[in-house]
């Protein structure tokens, strides 16, 4: 749908995990679908828990999972973890280049290095050589928060000084971006000199607008595939808006080859929301249920929020085909909005009327809506898998039922004058 900027392609994973391609379009490669990554929230050295978390994230749809390896005991756990998981694993390395060497030795599928904290050329060279021998890629991951020198006090003073000086004249973002690009170019030169091209790049910030500006700049200057993300985006409530604002802005410009949404929450949400973003932008073919639900309003006469949550929770594991399911609160706007749904329910007056590809199949009391809807969805899935019907085959206009006596709510009542057409409000004191 959106023309993607051609990038080099890298491969992550092996026969056991399956290979995830990132980027493409240059050197005769075809652009791979935008992949969705996440990172475990637990300690890597707690082997069983880490394996369980990785498997849970893979089951939620993560294409790649990253783990932190701050200590020797974390890299020591990697062999067991790699043995018992089947998704490509990235070792996230900060400060200690030896963790990268140990992770490569253990058989990890990719390394992430931060130019902000591993700068020694010999150390970077050692990691590059190890990855070259193991034929695994490296992500050069710059973060706004760690780009300013930490170890060398003199250099740190200069960088901070320059940053604040510009900040005073309102050039904060421009200067910070300049600093990031300069560091990134300097770092990427090490890889070029070492003739190592198996690299992806990220350039994350906490600010959505800055993230967009930074990746636009990086995309102009580098052909490496880009890993998109907003760092430290916060809890899901705010992090989702921040992440989706930045990532949608970039993806619709054709920028970005793999994404990680980051929340201060269960990483399963990062995967779910990353995938939903891809589906919503048409960048990936949907796997599983496409749920439409009305926001509810003053016409609602059933507990629609609970119904929608239950439908989502139950169907997420049952439905494996991209079936469109609509859960609508009434028959006023519902039919038009649910048009094209494979299975739809219109609720009202403590009842639900269920349609399958436009044909009315049931009218059940509220207490039975969930079970009947699930039955209809699974039966419909069986028919699709057996080749008896096709998804989205019948785009039928759903004729709303007569609400009088059926649902007891809706425009028919208004049209018949059963409901007052307007009410004048008298505000006390006026
Ligand atoms: S479908 Fe009905 S209940 Fe739901 S928001 Fe629309 S008008 Fe309101």
How far is Cα of residue 13 from the mean position of the Cα atoms in its chain? 20
Q: Which of 329, 352, 353 to mutate to test the pocket of ligand 1 (most atoms within 8 A of CB)?
A: 329
**In whole angstroms, what is the distance from residue 370 CA to residue 119 CA?**
57
Q: Which of 300, 327, 349 to mutate to test the pocket of ligand 1 (most atoms within 8 A of CB)?
A: 300
Calculate mean pLDDT across residues 184-204. 95
Length of the chain: 430
Any atom of ligand 1 within 6 Å of the Cβ of 329: yes
Residue 398 has pLDDT above 80, yes or no: no
Mean pLDDT is lowest, of 71-75, 204-208, 382-386, 391-395, for 391-395
Which residue is closest in CA terms to ligand 1's atom 2?
330
Any atom of ligand 1 within 6 Å of the Cβ of 170: no
**In whole angstroms, what is the distance from residue 212 CA to residue 203 CA?**
10
Instruction: For residue range 212-271, list pLDDT tens digits in order.
Output: 999 999 999 999 999 999 988 889 989 999 999 999 999 999 999 999 999 999 999 999
Question: At 86, is the secondary structure helix, strand, or coil?
Answer: coil
pLDDT for the residue 161: 64
pTM: 0.84
Q: At what angle do helices 366-385 and 304-318 cross, to 10 degrees?
A: 30
Burial-class residue 29 by CB neighbours within 10 Å (0-12, 13-18, 19+).
middle
Residue 79 has pLDDT above 50, yes or no: yes
Average pLDDT, the chain: 86
For residue 328, give the ligand 1 atom closest to its CA: 1
Any atom of ligand 1 within 6 Å of the Cβ of 299: yes
Which residue is closest in CA terms to ligand 1's atom 6?
333
Q: What percent of the chain has pLDDT over 90?
A: 63
**In whole angstroms, what is the distance from residue 206 CA to residue 269 CA?**
18
Radius of gyration of the chain, Cα coordinates, nearest whole angstrom:
26
Any atom of ligand 1 within 6 Å of the Cβ of 330: yes
Task: Please tell me the distance between residue 343's alpha carbon and the centre of ligand 1 in angstroms.
Answer: 17
Backbone angles phi, psi at 25, to 5 degrees: 120, -25
Any atom of ligand 1 within 6 Å of the Cβ of 336: no
**In whole angstroms, what is the distance from residue 254 CA to residue 233 CA?**
22
Instruction: For residue range 149-186, list pLDDT tens digits in order.
Output: 666 777 766 766 666 555 544 455 667 888 888 889 99
The secondary structure element, H or E, covering residue 304 is helix 304-318
In sequence order, what are the residues at sequence separation of 6 or more whose Cβ sits closer than 8 angstroms to the Cβ of residue 95?
Answer: 70, 117, 118
């Amino acid at each position: 749908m959106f023309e993607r900027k051609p990038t080099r392609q890298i491969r992550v994973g092996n026969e056991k995990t399956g290979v995830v391609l990132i980027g493409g379009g240059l050197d005769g490669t075809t652009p791979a679908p935008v992949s969705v990554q996440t990172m475990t929230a637990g300690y890597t050295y707690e082997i069983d828990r880490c394996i369980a978390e990785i498997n849970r994230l893979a089951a939620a749809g993560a294409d790649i999972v990253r783990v932190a390896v701050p200590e020797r005991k974390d890299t020591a756990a990697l062999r067991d973890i790699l043995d018992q998981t089947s998704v490509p694993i990235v070792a996230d390395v900060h400060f200690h280049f030896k963790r990268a060497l140990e992770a490569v030795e253990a058989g990890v599928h990719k390394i992430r290095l931060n130019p902000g904290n591993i700068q020694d050329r010999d150390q970077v060279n050692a990691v590059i050589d190890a990855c070259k021998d193991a034929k695994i890629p490296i992500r050069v991951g710059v973060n706004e928060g760690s780009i300013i020198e930490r170890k060398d006090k003199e250099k740190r003073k200069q960088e901070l000084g320059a940053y604040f000086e510009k900040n005073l004249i309102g050039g904060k973002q421009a200067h910070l971006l300049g600093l990031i690009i300069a560091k990134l170019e300097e770092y990427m030169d090490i890889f070029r000199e070492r003739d190592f091209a198996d690299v992806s790049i990220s350039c994350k910030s906490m600010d959505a607008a800055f993230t967009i500006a930074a990746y636009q700049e990086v995309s102009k200057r580098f052909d490496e595939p880009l890993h998109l993300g907003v760092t430290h985006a916060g809890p899901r409530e705010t992090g989702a808006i921040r992440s989706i604002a930045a990532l949608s802005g970039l993806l619709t410009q054709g920028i970005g080859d793999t994404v990680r949404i980051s929340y201060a929450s269960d990483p399963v949400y990062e995967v779910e929301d990353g995938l939903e973003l891809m589906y919503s932008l048409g960048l990936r073919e949907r796997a599983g249920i496409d749920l439409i639900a009305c926001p509810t309003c003053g016409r609602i006469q059933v507990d629609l929020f609970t119904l929608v949550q239950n439908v989502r929770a139950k169907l997420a594991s049952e439905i494996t085909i991209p079936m469109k399911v609509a859960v609508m609160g009434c028959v006023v706007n519902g039919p038009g909005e649910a048009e094209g749904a494979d299975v739809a329910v219109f609720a009202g007056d403590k009842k639900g009327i269920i349609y399958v590809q436009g044909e009315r199949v049931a009218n059940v009391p509220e207490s039975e809506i969930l079970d009947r809807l699930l039955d209809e969805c699974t039966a419909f899935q069986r028919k699709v898998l057996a080749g008896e019907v096709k998804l989205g085959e019948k785009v039928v206009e759903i004729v709303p039922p007569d609400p009088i006596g059926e649902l007891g709510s809706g425009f028919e009542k208004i049209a018949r004058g059963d409901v007052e057409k307007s009410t004048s409000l008298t505000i006390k004191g006026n």
